[in-house]
Amino acid sequence: MRILQFGRTGQVATAVQASAQGRAEVMALSRADCDLQDPEAIRAAILAADCDLVLNTAAFTQVDPAEARPDEAFAVNAIAPGEMAKTCAERDLPFVHLSTDAVFDGLTDRPYVETDTARPINVYGRSKLAGEQAVLAHPRTAVLRISWVFSRYGRNYVSFMLHLAREREVLKVVADQFGSPTDGEALAAFLVATAPRWAAAPTGDPVFGLFHFANAGETSRFDFAKAAIDRDPLTRARVEPTTQAAFAEPAPRPPRSPLDTGKLQRAFGFMPEPWRTAVERTADQLVATGFQA
């Protein structure tokens, strides 16, 4: 199985490369290898690749900077994946793209399903929604919305909270924002394991389309952080709840954006692990091996 992957050093990109060892060949392109703001470079990379599937793990994920750099956010999150999907369609290659819970406004009393109306409230979310719309216009495309991704790789919420809890006496964490954490390593394993199925599936197969991928259950940012911090015997901070309003952030966040994964379970037979189990395991691994924030 040969996968052309846009993204090389990011959290999910790294996890995919690790998961693929002995199972698939991943040709991972960094931004130095392919400028995501150059559609012609993207097209050339796909046309030249000897691959069975194209996977996009690259994105402009900096939510607050996106408010000041909307052109860059849309170039990377919307125009680039649109060109990827278009070129894949020309070669009849399956294309798999990652999106986000940030396409929703967060005004819900239940987990979001794929048919719910997307109403992003920040530039990042709008750029990712535009990317979804661009890629889903082409056949043999799968979009997986993910949220609150964590893993052993790169900077993420779990490693960052562990770091802060060792550095500070008091750590205030938002308790009025709710969502579904996503184990980046489980996501990577799913992508690698499912790649042959996508590669073999014809246009119109139910493995293509829009899906939600996240761990089972939902939690607040506060409880998410506590689940990780409580695993570290070297924690020094007293962790206290606070509100989103207490942080002066340029980009508004959806207050409640848990993802329902029922469609994914029905299409692929994949059963997500409870979020707390995955977070505690990852925190244990980070504490045991050392971590950087």
Known catalytic residues are 124
H or E stretch covering 63: helix 63-68
User: What whole-number distance in Å separates Cα of residue 171 and Cα of residue 72?
Assistant: 33
Instruction: Give Cβ neighbours of residue 182 (< 8 Å, ≥ 6 apart).
Output: 146, 147, 148, 149, 150, 213, 214, 215
The phi and psi torsions of 189 (rounded to 5 degrees) equal -60, -40
Burial class of residue 167, CB neighbours in 10 A (0-12, 13-18, 19+): exposed
Contact present, 36 and 75 (Cβ < 8 Å): yes
Determine the residue type at 34. C
- Tell me how long the chain is: 293
The phi and psi torsions of 226 (rounded to 5 degrees) equal -60, -40
The phi and psi torsions of 129 (rounded to 5 degrees) equal -65, -40
